[in-house]
């Protein structure tokens, strides 16, 4: 039998996603690149689709590129196509700042509908490698979920070569983002240097293996998250946590309980080091002071501390 074409493979992947997740309509984040363009072409044939095109303003011709993607979306059958112009800040470096601005704009424009993203199996493999290199723990190595409301990723089982082939089959000309080949960006070097080297040394199949690893870890992490959610209810005392109850939990569950409690209390962008330092207030108590955790608060700092057998949170002026 002939192997299915690239467009057929994409339709199968997006159709399976649609069957698994209810909804009458969806949005798709369209950059004009091969991944999002191929996704838009298929999505528009399955459900009423609104294309959301983010113009980051980082290149001189960004407005023209966004308008071209808007025209392509309407030609592909999208019911609407909207250009979202954003201002990219500087927090966290250029990649992180652009991502923050992009997701904020998409969230504001989606009007309650899920947003499909063009992340592929290759993106998943890169995410796992980034997590490994940063020592971010199982949560990061578990990669991206196919649906983490409102963000949908129907193409996580599809290679990047398939989206490019699908564009060719459909006669579509994707935009080639120069940032995707700029070695100043860590992810670009992973894509163009590290992964090809791993494929050569290990005899191929590395991207697929990394994606399988992410899926297995994600199942484990979700099971631990469920245990931690139940444990959080049991050890919570008002706004604090009972230290004795926490001390009886397995470390993997206890740290998840602490993480959830910190997030509920206003912490943001928690690091593994911060969570471990708060955990030490339970497991290695020597009368130490509070632990500062990241938060969006201005002119004050958020602290977790141990007092009278409880973990509590408080703020202090900067």
Domain ranges of the chain: 6-211, 238-317
What's the distance, CA 243 to chain centroid?
32
Residue (of 134, 118, 127, 145) closest to 20 by Cα position: 145
Q: What's the average model confidence in pLDDT over 41-59?
A: 94
* Cβ(242)–Cβ(235) below 8 Å: yes
Q: What's the average model confidence in pLDDT over 55-72?
A: 91
pLDDT on residue 91: 76
> Is the pLDDT confidence value at 1 over 50?
no
pTM for the predicted model, two decimal places: 0.84
Residue predicted with more confidence, 112 or 139: 112
> Is the pLDDT confidence value at 284 over 70?
yes
Residue predicted with more confidence, 57 or 80: 80
Candidate from 14-18, 131-135, 310-314 with smallest mean pLDDT: 131-135
Tokens standing for residue 306: 């141990």
C-alpha pair distances (Å), 50 with each of 79, 187, 262: 6, 28, 36
High-pLDDT (> 90) share of the chain, % = 78
* Cβ(135)–Cβ(273) below 8 Å: no
pLDDT band for position 14 (cuts 50, 70, 90): very high
* Cβ(182)–Cβ(188) below 8 Å: yes
Residue predicted with more confidence, 161 or 96: 161
- Rounded to the nearest 10 degrees, the angle between the axes of helix 62-75 and helix 34-43 is 30
Candidate from 87-96, 265-274, 307-316 with smallest mean pLDDT: 87-96
pLDDT on residue 42: 97
* Cβ(266)–Cβ(250) below 8 Å: no
DSSP class of 181 = G
Residues 13 and 39: their CA atoms lie apart, in Å, by: 10
Q: What's the average model confidence in pLDDT over 19-45?
A: 95
pLDDT on residue 136: 65
pLDDT band for position 156 (cuts 50, 70, 90): very high
Binding-site annotation: residue ranges: 31-36
pLDDT on residue 151: 97
pLDDT on residue 186: 86
Pairing of β 291-293 and β 300-307: antiparallel
Binding-site annotation: residue ranges for ATP: 31-36
The architecture of the domain spanning 6-211 is 3-Layer(aba) Sandwich (3.40)
pLDDT on residue 184: 85
Report the 10 Å Cβ neighbour count for 198.
Answer: 19
pLDDT on residue 2: 53
Please give the mean pLDDT across all residues of the chain: 93
pLDDT on residue 261: 98
> Is the pLDDT confidence value at 238 over 60?
yes
Candidate from 53-62, 239-248, 297-306 with smallest mean pLDDT: 53-62
Q: What's the average model confidence in pLDDT over 187-202?
A: 92
């Amino acid at each position: 039998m002939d192997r299915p074409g690239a467009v057929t493979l994409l339709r199968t992947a997006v159709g399976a996603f649609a069957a698994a997740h209810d909804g009458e309509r969806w949005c798709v984040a369209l950059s004009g690149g091969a991944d999002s363009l191929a996704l838009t072409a298929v999505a528009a044939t399955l459900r009423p689709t609104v294309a959301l095109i983010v113009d980051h303003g980082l290149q001189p011709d960004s407005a023209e590129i966004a308008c071209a993607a808007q025209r392509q979306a309407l030609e592909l059958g999208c019911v609407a196509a909207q250009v979202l112009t954003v201002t990219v800040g500087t927090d966290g470096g250029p990649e992180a700042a652009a991502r923050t601005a992009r997701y904020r704009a998409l969230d504001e424009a989606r009007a309650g509908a899920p947003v499909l993203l063009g992340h592929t199996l290759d993106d998943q493999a890169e995410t796992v490698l980034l997590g490994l290199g940063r020592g971010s723990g199982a949560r990061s190595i578990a990669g991206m979920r196919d649906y983490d409301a409102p963000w949908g990723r129907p193409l996580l089982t599809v290679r990047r070569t398939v989206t490019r082939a699908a564009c060719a089959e459909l006669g579509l000309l994707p935009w080639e983002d120069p940032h995707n080949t700029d070695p100043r960006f860590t992810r670009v070097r992973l894509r163009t240097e590290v992964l090809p080297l791993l494929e050569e040394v290990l005899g191929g199949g590395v991207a697929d293996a990394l994606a399988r690893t992410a899926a297995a870890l994600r199942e484990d992490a979700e099971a631990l998250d469920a245990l931690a959610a139940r444990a959080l209810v049991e050890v919570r005392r008002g706004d604090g946590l009972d230290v004795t109850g926490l001390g009886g939990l397995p470390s993997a569950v206890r740290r998840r309980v602490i993480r959830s409690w910190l997030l509920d209390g206003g912490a943001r962008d928690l690091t593994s080091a911060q969570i471990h330092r708060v955990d030490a207030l339970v497991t290695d108590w020597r009368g130490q002071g509070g632990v500062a955790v990241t938060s969006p608060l201005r002119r004050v700092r958020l602290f977790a501390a141990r007092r009278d057998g409880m973990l509590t949170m408080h703020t202090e002026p900067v």
